[in-house]
A and B are shown apart, each in its own frame.
Chain A
């Protein structure tokens, strides 16, 4: 019973996250919504694993958490540097100038 209500609560939260992703005025709202949606997916899979009694699903939930993390890191890097191939530390001035033009 408690698992069912937990799953329902997660589904409602997912709905709210999607609403924010659709409405969100700035792109950062949407990124946050996607990140949160990923987290809720992890939780939902964990709850489904508990309901179905299949502990091996938890591994998949963990992998989802990692994938979500990597994707968000890539998105944030794109926003910070304007490209994904950027190393980050040695910010060459001509490169950043190029990217700002690109934006």
Chain B
């Protein structure tokens, strides 16, 4: 559909402009703000690709938590005001390496099956079974939930353990510090 392609072009152009701006800008806070916009744009792209759960995670983590985390970091380490852009001479070796790597990746895209085609490996391997038999096998109306919670239940359990451990770590780091401060205040 032409209209969706138009939106795609707009959003991808936004991404390119914002990333260049993030690299070029000298104010850290502005960069944090632009990171937020970047996350929102990529979340919109995921929405256009029908990946609602990925878009949801991107918005929550990218635009929500990382912005707040970066601000918290800035408030701890302090921020310098705008440093002038130091003019360095362009070093060509990294540029060439990056260009060659990018060209190789683009060359690799040529072999990929067309986007969204019905006979792609992704559509013919286990997807038909998920689509046609998950209702009778698992009886969960949402396909994604059925796959995540049942077919890949063990995998999801591992992910939950990882997130739980990370949460405990963060609580120990932040909570322990705050209690110490309260003690010194009293």
The residues of A with any CB-CB pair to B shorter than 8 Å are 4, 7-8, 11, 14-15, 18, 21-22, 27, 30-31, 33-34, 37-38, 41, 44-45, 48, 51, 56-57, 60, 63-64, 67-68, 70-71, 74-75, 78, 82-85, 102
**In the complex, are the beta carbons of B47 and A63 less than 8 A apart?**
no
**In the complex, are the beta carbons of A78 and B75 less than 8 A apart?**
yes
Interchain nearest-CB distance for A24 vs B (Å): 8
Question: Which residues of the other chain, A, contact B76 by a CB distance below 8 angstroms?
Answer: 83
Docked CA distance A83–B174 (Å): 14
Question: Which residues of the other chain, A, contact B59 by a CB distance below 8 angstroms?
Answer: 60, 63-64, 67
* Given A18-B14, A57-B47, A84-B75, residue A67 in contact with residue B60 (CB < 8 A): yes
* Given A14-B10, A38-B63, residue A21 in contact with residue B75 (CB < 8 A): no
Question: Which residues of the other chain, B, contact A57 by a CB distance below 8 angstroms?
Answer: 47, 52
Question: Which residues of the other chain, A, contact B170 by a CB distance below 8 angstroms?
Answer: none
Interchain nearest-CB distance for A90 vs B (Å): 11
Out of A21, A30, A74, name the residue touching B68 (CB < 8 Å).
A74
Per-residue CB contact flags for chain B residues 43-54 toward chain A (1 = under 8 Å, else 0) read 110011000100
Out of B27, B44, B68, B178, name the residue touching A44 (CB < 8 Å).
B44
**In the complex, are the beta carbons of B47 and A60 less than 8 A apart?**
yes
> Total number of A-B contacts with CB less than 8 angstroms?
101
- In the complex, 29 of the A-B residue pairs with CB atoms within 8 angstroms, ordered by the A residue number, are A11-B7, A14-B10, A15-B14, A18-B14, A21-B34, A21-B37, A27-B30, A30-B33, A30-B34, A33-B37, A34-B34, A37-B40, A38-B40, A41-B41, A41-B43, A44-B44, A60-B52, A63-B56, A63-B60, A64-B40, A67-B59, A67-B60, A67-B63, A68-B40, A71-B36, A75-B71, A78-B71, A83-B72, A84-B75
**In the complex, are the beta carbons of A18 and B7 less than 8 A apart?**
no
Is B146 an interface residue when CB atoms closer than 8 A count as contact? no
> Size class of B's contact patch?
35 or more
Docked CA distance A30–B71 (Å): 15
Out of B18, B55, B64, name the residue touching A71 (CB < 8 Å).
B64
Question: Which residues of the other chain, A, contact B3 by a CB distance below 8 angstroms?
Answer: 4, 7, 51
Interchain nearest-CB distance for B24 vs A (Å): 9
Question: Which residues of the other chain, A, contact B44 by a CB distance below 8 angstroms?
Answer: 41, 44-45
Q: What residue of chain A has the Cβ atom nearest to residue B14's Cβ?
A: A18
Interchain nearest-CB distance for B63 vs A (Å): 6
**In the complex, are the beta carbons of B55 and A78 less than 8 A apart?**
no
The 5 residue pairs across chains A and B that have the minimum distance between CB atoms = A83-B75, A67-B64, A74-B68, A41-B40, A78-B71
Interchain nearest-CB distance for A44 vs B (Å): 6
* Given A60-B56, A64-B43, residue A34 in contact with residue B71 (CB < 8 A): no
